Amino acid sequence: MENKNKWWKNAVVYQIYPKSFQDSDGDGIGDIPGIISRLDYLKKLGIDAIWLSPVYRSPQDDNGYDISDYQDIEPMFGTMEDMEQLFAEAKKRGIRIMMDLVLNHTSDEHRWFLEAKKSKDNPYHDYYVWRDGEEGVYPNDMNSVFGGPAWEWVPELGQYYFHQFSVKQPDLNWENPKVRRELYDMILWWMEKGAGGFRLDVIDQIAKEPDLKITNNGPKLHEFLRELSRETFQKGDMITVGEAWGATPEIAKKYSNPDGSEFSMVFQFEHIMLDQEEGKEKWDTIPLNLVKLKKCLAKWQNTLYQTGWNSLFMNNHDLPRIVSRWGNDGKYRKESAKMLATMLHGMQGTPYIYQGEELGMTNVQFDSIEEYEDIETLNMYKERLKKGYQPEEILHSIYARSRDNARTPMQWSSEKNGGFTTGEPWFAVNPNYIRINAKEALEDENSVFYYYQKLIQLRKENPVFVDGKFDLLLPEDEKIFAYTRTDEHTKMLVCTNFTDEEVSCPLLDEWKDGEVWIRNYEDGREGNILRPYEAVIIGTAVNIVKAGYFPSDGATEGAQQRYQLSVRGGERDE
């Protein structure tokens, strides 16, 4: 199944963290009926698919990424009937639902594992990774991602089981064809229910070889992934994205091969690590080096051009809010939120918007550690206190990096609790909901929301966003991020100022006859000065006479008008 002209190349995906999106019943926890009630809002934004963080039945040891039943819904989120209604209501609005799948491990409360622990002869025993041993003598010195040994002793079996993450998340044994078949049948069941795609959690870990201390990118990884795709995704028109922290551009070519043999694309995280002090933890931050960011993103753009496909993101449920991270969440909050969106959406790949990003939602700063929820954050606080760090110093790192920044409830209005719930929210709402909320944004024609809406529309109307070749400009400039995208008919310039000062940009003189497609300041401006956090996309036509091109086949009226303007610009250039 070729990936050449797939719908998801034009698509924009919106991630929902269900617990924090919209509560419908006043219990303080977001739920599926709450999501259904906000579908018209998402339709207005213009998105094509929702990536839904896990809603399966789960003890919630790891925020639902510990699944105890793949084919049931966690009661705090609703029922299977609610899920079926979400599929149906989203479909009416032209929105697909991407399920978040965890295929590397299950919960230790999954029936497979409960059976596996009963005896070595149990048919489910080999669904997991076991090693013989004696108590206190681990098979090797591997540690889990969440700390402590990656092996857990089960005295009644005289064996250890392997867990890369929480002790309550035993790893599945992908070497067992029965395990793979069970997972494939489950995926096909969800496809039959109406799932429009899948995000695959830590999928680069499934081909582990713990005896060799190999977790990600194991020797059989791509063999397993090709079988997975062949047996499931290729039987429907799915969008699939694999989470792969260990991906390089060359490996990503395999994941997103245009022949459709694995996934549509992968999430890679190289750019997201650039403001972390080298060799230290994520809490140890350094200022973003723009030159490094440009080179990193350019490498991914150029390596995957016509050989794979990028995912474009700066936020998700595990990352701090980008406007607080790389923008200016004070004086220039709106301008910098729009600038960052422009930089990202102009590149080749499928853009992902995390809930609230389209409002310019910011990081939160609570006064004490008692107000935080995230287990990773709480553990780090305790560890750093023991190491002698001052509480204020640790809180400063939490303000910059905690996953809780992304998990404060969605800010719908200036009403109590931001309109998220009529009850007591499971986690405090960011106090700035009074001025940053969806109701305010929808009433302001110059809001971040409407800017995102226009960026999404531009992508749908202009093939250059999907197919155009990327060329980085001014690679050594420490303030301006600029690049062009060029296809057979159109060339566009994306030019952004990453600073809070005015910057001279001679590129704007060269492009003065082009048409401004979008700009994040309300008034137009002549000359070559970029204002603080200013961003602009300028388009022009190329090879018009030679190509004899007119965008009539299914093009929108906006695309027709833009074509006419760009032709006139092209004639002036001649």
**Cα–Cα distance, 413 to 432 (Å, whole number):** 11
- Cβ atoms of residues 505 and 488 within 8 Å: no
CA distances from 434 to 420, 437, 439, 496 (A): 13, 7, 10, 29
**Cα–Cα distance, 332 to 534 (Å, whole number):** 10
Residues near 548 by Cβ (< 8 Å), separated by ≥ 6? none
| Tens digit of each residue's pLDDT (9 = 90 or more) over 351-410 | 999 999 999 999 999 999 999 998 889 989 999 999 999 999 999 999 999 999 999 999
**What confidence score (pLDDT) does residue 546 get?**
31
Tell me: pLDDT of 506 over 70.
yes
Element (H, E) at 131: strand 130-132
**What confidence score (pLDDT) does residue 572 get?**
30
**Cα–Cα distance, 399 to 296 (Å, whole number):** 26
**What confidence score (pLDDT) does residue 543 get?**
56
| Tens digit of each residue's pLDDT (9 = 90 or more) over 224-234 | 999 999 999 99
**What confidence score (pLDDT) does residue 547 get?**
31
| Tens digit of each residue's pLDDT (9 = 90 or more) over 66-125 | 999 999 999 999 999 999 999 999 999 999 999 999 999 999 999 999 999 999 999 999
Identity of the residue numbered 89: E
Question: What is the mean pLDDT of the segment spanning 275-291?
Answer: 94
**Cα–Cα distance, 76 to 238 (Å, whole number):** 28
Give Cα 22 to chain centroid, integer Å: 19
Question: What is the mean pLDDT of the segment spanning 543-557?
Answer: 38
* Of residues 267, 339, 304, 238, the one with CA closest to residue 467: 304
Q: Is 207 helix (H, G, I), strand (E, B) or coil?
A: coil
**Cα–Cα distance, 513 to 9 (Å, whole number):** 29
Tell me: pLDDT of 320 over 90.
yes
* Of residues 333, 384, 327, 419, the one with CA closest to residue 20: 419
Q: Does the annotation mark 201 as catalytic?
A: yes
**What confidence score (pLDDT) does residue 538 get?**
97
Q: Is 58 helix (H, G, I), strand (E, B) or coil?
A: coil
**Cα–Cα distance, 115 to 456 (Å, whole number):** 48
**What confidence score (pLDDT) does residue 464 get?**
97
Kindly report the number of other CB atoms within 10 A of residue 429's CB atom: 22
Residue 237 phi/psi, 5-degree rounding, is -95, 70
Kindly report the number of other CB atoms within 10 A of residue 66's CB atom: 24
* Of residues 455, 249, 189, the one with CA closest to residue 345: 455
User: What band does 560 get if pLDDT is binned at 50, 70 and 90?
Assistant: very low
**What confidence score (pLDDT) does residue 4 get?**
58
Q: Is 62 helix (H, G, I), strand (E, B) or coil?
A: coil
Q: Does the annotation mark 370 as catalytic?
A: no
**The residue count for the chain:** 574
- Cβ atoms of residues 283 and 401 within 8 Å: yes
- Cβ atoms of residues 515 and 565 within 8 Å: yes
Looking up tokens 């397993």 gives 224
Tell me: pLDDT of 450 over 80.
yes
Q: From the candidates 23, 82, 171, 243, which is the catalytic residue?
A: 243
**What confidence score (pLDDT) does residue 523 get?**
85
Tell me: pLDDT of 305 over 90.
yes
Tell me: pLDDT of 445 over 90.
yes
Return the biggest CA–CA distance within the chain: 82
Identity of the residue numbered 544: I
**What confidence score (pLDDT) does residue 525 get?**
78
**What confidence score (pLDDT) does residue 3 get?**
65
Q: Is 44 helix (H, G, I), strand (E, B) or coil?
A: helix
Q: Which two tokens stand for residue 276?
A: 């972390």
Share of the chain above pLDDT 90, in %: 88
- Cβ atoms of residues 91 and 98 within 8 Å: no
Question: What is the mean pLDDT of the segment spanning 264-282?
Answer: 93
Question: What is the mean pLDDT of the segment spanning 261-268?
Answer: 94
Per DSSP, the residues of 384-416 read HHHTT--HHHHHHHHHHH-THHHHSPP---SSG
* Of residues 501, 465, 499, the one with CA closest to residue 483: 465
Tell me: pLDDT of 567 over 50.
no
Strands 69-73 and 350-354: unpaired
Q: From the candidates 23, 100, 201, 358, which is the catalytic residue?
A: 201
Question: What is the mean pLDDT of the segment spanning 160-175?
Answer: 97
User: What band does 307 get if pLDDT is binned at 50, 70 and 90?
Assistant: very high
Question: What is the mean pLDDT of the segment spanning 424-441?
Answer: 98
What are the counts of helices (DSSP H) followed by strands (DSSP E) for the chain? 19, 20
pTM: 0.92
- Cβ atoms of residues 528 and 515 within 8 Å: no
Residues near 214 by Cβ (< 8 Å), separated by ≥ 6? 208
Q: Report the side by side order of strands in the sheet with 49-52.
A: 265-267, 239-243, 197-201, 96-102, 49-52, 13-16, 350-354, 311-312
359 vs 545, which has greater pLDDT?
Answer: 359
**Cα–Cα distance, 427 to 317 (Å, whole number):** 14
> What rounded mean pLDDT belongs to the chain?
92
Per DSSP, the residues of 415-453 read SGGGGS-SS--SSPPPGGGGTSSHHHHHT-TTSHHHHHH
**Cα–Cα distance, 18 to 100 (Å, whole number):** 12
Question: What is the mean pLDDT of the segment spanning 214-237?
Answer: 96
**What confidence score (pLDDT) does residue 551 get?**
38
Q: Which two tokens stand for residue 58?
A: 């789960």
**What confidence score (pLDDT) does residue 524 get?**
78
Give the helix ranges, DSSP H, for 232-372: 249-255, 290-304, 322-325, 333-345
| Tens digit of each residue's pLDDT (9 = 90 or more) over 455-490 | 999 999 999 999 999 999 999 999 999 999 999 999
Q: Is 518 helix (H, G, I), strand (E, B) or coil?
A: strand
Question: What is the mean pLDDT of the segment spanning 133-139?
Answer: 94
